Amino acid sequence: MEPLFTGVSNNAHHLYTLLSCIGFASKATVQITPEGLRFSAEEGRVIQGLAFLDKSLFTSYAFNAAPNPNQQSEAPDNEDSDETNYPHFVVSLAALLETLKIFGINDLNEPPRENTSLPETNPASNVFSAPALLMDRSCTLQYASHGAPLSIAIDEAGVKTTCELVTYEPEDDESDIPLQRDAIIMKIIMRSAWLHNAIAELDSSTPTILKLSASAKHTPYFALSGAGGPYSESTVEFSVDQGNEATGEGQDGLSTQRHKVLADDGSSRARSTRAKLAPTVTETFLVTPPSSMGERIKQSYRFGLIRKAARAMSVANKVSIRGDRQGVLSLQFMVELDENQNQATGRSVGAGVRAAGPVCFVDFRFVPLLDEEVEEAEMEMLADE
Partner 1 sequence: MRFRTQLKNTRTFSKLTASLSSLGKICWMRLEPEAVRFTIIPDQGTQVWSQIPVNTIFDEDTYELECNSEAINIEINISVLTRALRSAIDASSAQLRLTKKDKMPLLALTVVTTEWTEGNMALATDQTQPQDPTQDETETNDVVGDRRARERETIITQEIPIKILHEGAVEGLHEPHCPDPDVHIFLPGLAQLKSISDRFTKLASTDSKNRQPGLIASDAAGAADEGKGPRAAGLGSNAPKLELSANMHGKLKLAIATDELRIASVWSGLVNPALHPGHITQEEYSQLPSERMREVGDDDESGWAKVRIDGKDWSRVLSVGRLSPKVVACFINEMALVLYVYLPGTPNKDEACITYYINSFTT
Partner 2 sequence: MTSLKLSLAPPALVRLHDALICLAKFSDTVAIEAENDLLRLSALNSTKTAFASFVCERDAFFESYEFSINRSNRTSFQSQGGDRFYCQILLKALLSVFRGRVDRNKDTAVERCDMELHEDPQQTECRLTVKMICGLDVIKSYKLTYEPAAIQHAVFDRRNATNQWIADPRFLKQIIEHFSPSAEQLDIFSDGERAIFTSFTTKVMEGKEILKFPVHTSVATDKRDFEEFLVEDNMHIAMNLKDFKAVVAHAETSSATVTARYTRPCKPLQLAYGFEGINAEFTIMTRGESDGQDVPPSTRGSLPQLSRQTPAPAATPAPISFNRNDSLRPTPNSQMPPPPLSRNRSIRPLNGTSTQEHLSQRPASENPSNLISASASMDFDSLFVPQDDDRQWDEVNEEEEPQDILGWDATGGQDAFEGTLRDAEPGFNSRTSQDPTAQDGMGIPPTQRMSQVRGLGLFD
Residue 82 partner contact from partner 1, partner 2, none using kind-dependent CB cut-offs of 5 to 8 Å: none
Of 129 and 206, the one with the shorter C-beta distance to partner 2 is 206
How far apart CA 346 and CA 206 sit, in angstroms, is 45
Closer to partner 2 at the Cβ: 167 or 342?
Answer: 342
- 240 belongs to the binding site for partner 2 (CB under 8 A): yes
DSSP notation for 5-25: EEEEES-HHHHHHHHHHTTTS
Site for partner 2 in 263-292 (CB under 8 A): 279-281
CB of residue 239 to partner 2, shortest distance in Å: 4
Q: Does 159 bind partner 1 (CB under 8 A)?
A: yes
Gap between the Cα atoms of 311 and 329, Å rounded: 17
Alpha-carbon distance of 246 to 307, in angstroms, equals 35
- How big is the chain by its Cα radius of gyration, in Å? 25
Q: Is the peptide bond before 178 cis (omega within 30 degrees of 0)?
A: no
Closest residue by Cα to residue 178 from 291, 80, 293, 312: 80
| Residues between 5 and 44 that touch partner 2 (CB under 8 A) | 12-13, 16-17
Q: Does 384 help bind partner 1 (rule: CB under 8 A)?
A: no
Nearest distance from C-beta of residue 318 to partner 2, angstroms:
11
Q: Which residue(s) pair with 322 in the sheet?
A: 187, 330
Per-residue DSSP letter, 351: T
- State in angstroms the smallest separation of the CB of 355 from partner 2: 14
From the CB of 337, what's the least distance to partner 1, in Å? 18
Cα–Cα distance, 25 to 42 (Å, whole number): 6
Long-range (24+ apart) CB contacts under 8 A made by 269-278 are 273/248, 273/249, 274/217, 274/248, 275/247, 275/248, 276/216, 277/216, 277/217, 277/221, 277/240, 277/244, 277/245, 277/248, 278/221, 278/240
10 Å CB burial of residue 240 (0-12, 13-18, 19+) is: buried
Task: Write down the least CB distance from residue 268 to partner 2, Å.
Answer: 27
Which residues, numbered 40-69, are part of the site for partner 1 (CB under 8 A)?
Answer: 43
69 binds, among partner 2, partner 1, none (CB under 5 to 8 A by kind): none
The listed partner (partner 2, partner 1, none) that binds 94, CB under 5 to 8 Å by sort, is: partner 1
Residues that bind partner 1 (CB under 8 A): 20, 23-26, 43, 92, 94-95, 98-99, 101-102, 105-106, 108-111, 113, 115-125, 149, 157-166, 304, 307-308, 310-311
Residues of this chain that bind partner 2 (CB under 8 A): 12-13, 16-17, 101, 103-105, 107-109, 192-194, 196-201, 203-206, 229-242, 279-281, 307, 310-311, 313-315, 317, 335-338, 340-341, 357, 385
